[in-house]
Amino acid sequence: MPDFTAISPDALRLLIAERAMALPGYAVIAVDGADAADPLTVANGVAELLRTRGRPAAVVSLHDFVRPASVRLEYDRDSEFTYRTGWFDYAALNREVLKPLRDTGRYLPALWDERADRSARARIRTADDTTVLFVAGPMLLGRGLDFDLTVGLRMSQGALRRRTDAATLFTVDGLLEFQREHAEEPDIQVAWDHPDRPAIRVG
């Protein structure tokens, strides 16, 4: 297995963008990472880079596909088991975003407003036929979702605990357990303990 190679944040975004540019038609890229890794910012950065090169790009946040609070918090507000098994609606992500994008070029950008705990009331979008859609959030890999490229922002347990808000520390055990159970290697694995000086391993 290849070792990790040091890379700058700008070079990382450029690498992902170059891989994305080579994908034909509708393309879906997972940026998989804990909230502490801020995968949404990475996805938005690469999407903006693609747009400057003339390739349409959009970003969907997994946090816009959470289950209602009545489901997420039904048994225990701080349950790591619920976090990894029932917090996010991966089936809805597949049903409302991934499959319709490939089948019809249309997708729903958000399903549920996590803060207000109600429907996001988002309108269906029509994508250009060369759109690259990034999906950013935790525990995306190992769910059987159809991605054309996967990027994993990986953090050690210590870094996760340091950079996770105290109110959501319970999520760390859920993330680590899920990674142990579903050891799917991303196409681009990023050592992300120090986002200002990451390292990569490309599959």
**DSSP output for the chain:** -PPPEE--HHHHHHHHHHHHHTS-SSEEEEEEE-GGG-HHHHHHHHHHHHHHTT--EEEEEGGGGBPPHHHHTSS-TT-HHHHHHHSB-HHHHIIIIIHHHHHHSEE-S-SEETTTTEE--PPPEE--TT-EEEEEESS-TTS----SEEEEEE--HHHHHHHS-GGGTHHHHHHHHHHHH--PPPSEEEE-SSTTS-EEEE-
Question: Per this entry, what is the length of the chain?
Answer: 203
pLDDT score of 202:
95
Return the minimum-mean-pLDDT range out of 20-34, 64-78, 105-119, 183-197. 64-78
- In contact, 36 and 127? CB cutoff 8 Å: no
- Global confidence as pTM: 0.94
Domains and CATH numbers, the chain: 5-202 (3.40.50.300)
| pLDDT 10s digits, 38-54 | 999 999 999 999 999 99
Task: Give the pLDDT band of residue 182 (cuts 50, 70, 90).
Answer: confident
pLDDT score of 2:
65
Tell whether the model's pLDDT for residue 183 goes beyond 80. Answer: no
How far is 145 from 141, CA to CA, in rounded Å?
A: 7
Task: Give the pLDDT band of residue 74 (cuts 50, 70, 90).
Answer: confident
pLDDT score of 56:
98
Tokens 């994908």 correspond to 23
Tell whether the model's pLDDT for residue 1 goes beyond 70. Answer: no
pLDDT score of 184:
85
Q: Which two tokens stand for residue 115?
A: 């803060």
Average pLDDT score over the chain: 95
Backbone angles phi and psi of 8, in degrees to 5: -85, 160
Residue 65 has a CB neighbour count (10 Å cut-off) of: 26
Q: Which two tokens stand for residue 142?
A: 């190992």
- In contact, 35 and 83? CB cutoff 8 Å: no
